[in-house]
Amino acid sequence: MRWIDLLRMSSGSLKRRKLRTFLTVLGVVIGTASIVVMISLGLGMQQSMYREVEQSGGMTSITVTGKLEGGNMYYSSDGSSEQEEPDKYITDDAIKQFQQLEHVKSANPVLDVSAVALKGKYIGYLQLEGMTPEALKERNIELIPDGRLPNPDSTDLELLFGNGVLTSFYEKATDKGYWETGEVPDIDLQNDQMFLILDSDNYFQNQSADTGATEEGNSDSPQTPARPPKKYVVKGCGVVAGDIDTYTANYYYVYCDINKLEDTLKKEFRGRVIPGQPTTKSGKPYRQFVYTSATVQAENLEDVDELSAAIRNMGFQVTTNAEYMDSMKKQFAMIQALLGGIGAVSLFVAAIGIANTMMMSIYERTKEIGVIKVLGCSLKNIKQMFLLEAAFIGLIGGIVGNILSFGMSFIINLLTGGGSAVELDGNLSYIPPWLVLASMAFAVFVGMAAGYFPALRAMRLSPLAAIRNE
């Protein structure tokens, strides 16, 4: 029997029992869609992780942390706590030592500073991250049109805002911001000028003193500090691409040139200890400026482990994107296996439905099977005919199931704001082409596996007994 004849007979049999075929296919549709959507959630989180790693320097990036003022709890890449602290500060001398190591492509300091921004009726609490131009370029930050990185030669401190920085601004009168009111502050980060206050403690002391002075009968009101903090006029040079509801790896950060930030801090706190900087035993400022961390780029991915070990031996804490990726891949593999297993239960139930449908088909077509056997049809052809019917059910269910899964994925991403609701840099659900092909192939395989034993039964029927059957 030719393949075209087998295909025609298999499809014709399914068409004759439309309702039963529809219900069986529906089970495969639900099972396929469940598996695809469940796995797509894990893939969406994985894609978000890849984007975050790319925006933090890529797989060859190494983050180096030194001793900080006040002591710190450090965490390894797998999330476990590390009680041991680094015993060295990250200074310009340390950066030079990193640059002289073998297989180092670049080494740059990073300085984190908390600041207060004032714009009209709004007050913002910013996290400044001072970086060198080279380190900022390595982050591959996507900006809105006309945006650019901070100019190190500018006379003023230029700021590059994350696309979610506006959520850090609040109305002074009500102390309510975007998350409380749902209204975006009326501030154009890229074009508006604003005041930046680096001595935030002094600023809040002044505010408390002013408030206390206006309250009658309050004898414990704090006194106004001798020198109010300076307000620096700053302007944005760019904003990270994405609206306020689109979470990115740079969502909350404000980047600036590290040398300009360091010079500004030294002017602001001249004769005083800069917050976060270490002091000598006598309480005076440390002789060298200390950075929060450093980013070291290895020449190749193969050099990361060797370079990390060398920096650890120097007395610093090291975390790498490669270690982070390996750790997260293991977690995502477990998540995808769990989610895929939940979806597979639906497809297993559908397989039982296929087997039941094929068995019923054999009972109804017993005489037909006997006739075609008497006419000389081979046992192999009979087996192939029933396997093709089961494969058709799996194929149709796989195609429709994938179409349904794309619709469900779209709704999930729409409801979660493209992953922003769960702070993902990208969509929560991601369906790659390989998942579509794999799910369709799996649906066909399940269909044929479920129809295998019914096909064997049809093949083994006695021709004479089948013809006599009523």
Q: What's the total number of domains in the chain?
A: 2
**Burial environment of residue 282 by CB neighbours within 10 A (0 to 12, 13 to 18, 19 or more):** exposed
pTM attached to this predicted model: 0.65
Residue 22: pLDDT band (50, 70, 90) is confident
233 with 102, same domain?
A: yes
295 with 407, same domain?
A: no
Is 71 a domain residue?
Answer: no
Taking only the tens place, the pLDDT of each residue in 287-334 is 889 999 999 988 888 888 889 999 999 989 998 877 777 777 777 778
Is 65 a domain residue?
Answer: no
257 with 122, same domain?
A: yes
Q: How far apart (Å, rounded) are the C-alpha atoms in residues 218 and 208?
A: 12
Last residue of a domain, one of 282, 314, 346: 314
Last residue of a domain, one of 314, 337, 355: 314
291 with 368, same domain?
A: no
Beta strand spans in 51-144 (E): 61-65, 74-75, 81-82, 104-119, 122-131
Give the residue, 70 or 288, on which the prediction is more confident: 288
User: Cβ of 340: how many Cβ atoms within 10 Å?
Assistant: 15
In this prediction, residues 270-278 reach a mean pLDDT of 86
Q: How far apart (Å, rounded) are the C-alpha atoms in residues 128 and 116?
A: 10
Phi, psi of 165 (to 5 degrees): -65, -30
Q: How far apart (Å, rounded) are the C-alpha atoms in residues 443 and 421?
A: 33
283 with 394, same domain?
A: no
Is 17 a domain residue?
Answer: yes
359 with 302, same domain?
A: no
Of 254, 234, 240, the closest CA to residue 191 belongs to 234
450 with 394, same domain?
A: yes
Is 57 a domain residue?
Answer: no
SS3 208: helix
Is 66 a domain residue?
Answer: no
229 with 352, same domain?
A: no
pLDDT of residue 164: 92
pLDDT of residue 300: 87
298 with 409, same domain?
A: no
Of 67, 108, 58, 66, the closest CA to residue 324 belongs to 58
310 with 353, same domain?
A: no
Range with lowest mean pLDDT among 3-7, 149-153, 318-322, 343-347: 3-7
Query: What would the 3-class secondary structure string for 209-226 be?
Result: HHHHHHCCCCCCCCCCCC
> Element (H or E) spanning 169, and its range?
strand 169-171
Q: Which domain holds residue 275?
A: 89-314
Give the residue, 257 or 245, on which the prediction is more confident: 257
Last residue of a domain, one of 251, 282, 314: 314
> Element (H or E) spanning 439, and its range?
helix 433-460
What is the percentage of the chain residues whose pLDDT exceeds 90?
A: 32
**Burial environment of residue 433 by CB neighbours within 10 A (0 to 12, 13 to 18, 19 or more):** exposed
Is 80 a domain residue?
Answer: no
Q: Which of 173-177, 351-355, 388-392 has the highest mean pLDDT?
A: 173-177
User: Cβ of 289: how many Cβ atoms within 10 Å?
Assistant: 17
32 with 101, same domain?
A: no
